[in-house]
Amino acid sequence: MDLYEYQGKQLFARHGIPVSEGRLVETPAAARGAAEELGGPVVVKAQVLVGGRGKAGGIRLATTPEEAEARAGDILGLDIRGHVVRRLWIEKASEIAKEYYLSLTFDRGAKQPLYMFTTHGGVDIEEVAATTPEALVRLHVDPLEGFHPWQARRLVYAAGVEDPSEQKQIVAIVGKLYEVFVGCDAMLCEINPLIVTPDGEVRALDSKFTVDDNALFRHPDIAEMRDTAAADPLESLAREKHVTYVKLDGEVGVLGNGAGLSMSTVDVVTFVGGRPANFCDLGGGGDAQGVVDALSVITQDPQVKSIFFNIFGGITRCDEVARGILQALEQIRITAPIVVRLDGTNAEEGRRILADSGSAGLHVEPTMLDAARRAVELAA
Ligand code: GDP
Ligand code: MN
């Protein structure tokens, strides 16, 4: 789960990483009020879950409350690469002497958290990595040993930070970043830019924060930060119904039992020249309610022209799944044709049950490939 800048900064502040004071607003009038409260120049910052807001016109300085109101009016409603701005973070403006970059991310390859630090901040880190790779310092932390303060000193010296006060502040921030990262079960904590003010104060001016979805159950406060209005409506519906669903671009709705089989189903549809409309995993069982929930999500997608049900019965018997499908079809009205492939335990009985039902629009195919072809034909 990705957090907004202001949410990431809240978590930073909670762990003692210095950030600027600010207010969240949704209207130009409120932006003006916030600027009055904060006093002095402010930055009006679009809150969207996408980077590069500055370049897209989503970050603007304002010297007076009137100007803050006007800039807020410019930015609200702006479309930043598909993300419409509905909320703004009004922050006390900082004077910037230097822009650094600091991040801690989960390096899956190394199975360890990875720090990256460079004094070439404020620009895309990919650009630094491509043009001046020697300026980017990388350091892994062994999760079993935990973080050691010498690691922070190594980052700071290797990047060439010379001012002792800066060194001290950055070393402290590096240590606190590890605490936030581990404490929140984060996958990414990025500060770009980490600024140094003309007075020599180091502060996080931006935040990019991703929390591991699988750990949200133990962070109810973070789980609550999810902005359901900004999420894909179909994926939100799926989450509500506990259906494992990912929206894709095609016309063939697919569902299988088990993640591996469901992915193969997506593949086989593509293999025979079709385009899957989604990924959907029914999980191990094939009970009627699970099928109803999955079908009700899949059929909400107006692009779906046919549905491919791919079931392999292992412990779950195909005759049970077949009954589940029929029960589900009684509960919801589906206009798209459904192609079913049943294989595995009690497959023949399952197929017979479906065939005997006489349900119009239900096509039973003997193999996965046949079923994929049929579903793609029906979607054309
Ligand atoms: P991003 O473009 O989405 O990464 O948004 P940032 O929050 O990183 O802001 C982009 C850029 O705007 C920063 O790199 C700064 O150069 C500038 N900026 C942001 N806040 C301030 C501020 O308080 N004062 C000044 N002078 N510049 C700022
Ligand atoms: Mn940034």
Q: Give backbone dihedrals phi and psi of 211, rounded to 5 degrees, phi first.
A: -105, 140
Provide the token pair at 370.
């046949």
> Which mean pLDDT values do the consecutive 10-residue runs of the chain (380 residues) have?
96 98 98 97 96 94 98 96 93 97 96 97 88 94 96 97 98 98 97 98 98 95 85 84 91 93 96 96 76 90 94 86 86 90 92 89 92 96
Q: What is the CA(2)–ligand 1 centre distance, in A? A: 19
Pocket test for ligand 1, best of 96, 99, 101, 196 (most atoms within 8 A of CB): 96
Please report the pLDDT score of residue 285 as a whole number: 61
Which letter, b or e, does each residue of 106-143 get, where b requires 16 or more Cβ atoms within 10 Å of its Cβ?
beeeeeebbbbbbbbbbeebeebeeeeeebbbebebee
Q: At what angle do helices 318-331 and 288-298 cross, to 10 degrees?
A: 50
Q: Which residues pair with 188 in a beta bridge?
A: 105, 210
Provide the residue type at 279 as one letter. Answer: F
Please report the pLDDT score of residue 284 as a whole number: 67
Q: Is 266 exposed, middle or buried (0-12, 13-18, 19+ CB in 10 A)?
A: buried
Please report the pLDDT score of residue 194 as a whole number: 98
Pocket test for ligand 1, best of 53, 197, 205, 207 (most atoms within 8 A of CB): 205
Give catalytic residues, as residue numbers.
101, 190
- Residue at token pair 């350091």: 139
Residue nearest to atom 16 of ligand 1 (CA): 122
Q: Which residues pair with 308 in a beta bridge?
A: 254, 339
Ligand nearest to C-alpha 81: 1
- For residue 37, give the 3-state DSSP assignment: helix
Q: Residues lining ligand 1, CB < 6 A?
A: 43, 51-54, 59, 93-94, 96, 99, 122, 192-193, 205-206
DSSP 298: H
Atom of ligand 1 nearest to the CA of 123: 14
Compute the 3-state secondary structure of the chain and give helix, strand, coil in percent, each to the nearest 5: 40, 25, 35
Ligand nearest to C-alpha 190: 2
- Where helices occur in the chain by DSSP H, the ranges are 5-14, 28-38, 65-75, 125-131, 149-158, 164-183, 220-223, 233-240, 259-271, 288-298, 318-331, 347-357, 368-379
| Strands 362-365 and 338-344, bridge-based pairing | parallel
Provide the token pair at 264.
């193969």
Please report the pLDDT score of residue 286 as a whole number: 61
Residue nearest to atom 14 of ligand 1 (CA): 122
Q: What is the CA(311)–ligand 1 centre distance, in A? A: 51
* Alpha-carbon distances, residue 296 vs 137, 254, 299, 305, 356 (angstroms): 49, 12, 5, 14, 24
Q: Give backbone dihedrals phi and psi of 373, rounded to 5 degrees, phi first.
A: -60, -45
Rounded-to-10 torsion of CA 263, 266, 270, 271: 50
Strand order in the sheet with 42-46: 22-25, 88-92, 42-46, 59-62
Residues 259/244, Cβ–Cβ less than 8 Å: yes
Q: What is the CA(94)–ligand 1 centre distance, in A? A: 9
Ligand nearest to C-alpha 197: 1
Residues 6+ apart with CB under 8 A from 196: 96, 97, 98, 100, 166, 202
Please report the pLDDT score of residue 109 as a whole number: 95
Residue nearest to atom 4 of ligand 1 (CA): 52
Atom of ligand 1 nearest to the CA of 192: 8
Q: Give backbone dihedrals phi and psi of 273, rounded to 5 degrees, phi first.
A: 95, 10
Residue nearest to atom 9 of ligand 1 (CA): 54
Please report the pLDDT score of residue 220 as a whole number: 95
CB atoms within 10 A of CB 302: 7
Please report the pLDDT score of residue 287 as a whole number: 73
Q: What is the DSSP string of 131-190?
A: H-GGG-EEEE--TTT---HHHHHHHHHHTT---HHHHHHHHHHHHHHHHHHHHTTEEEEE
Residues 107/140, Cβ–Cβ less than 8 Å: yes
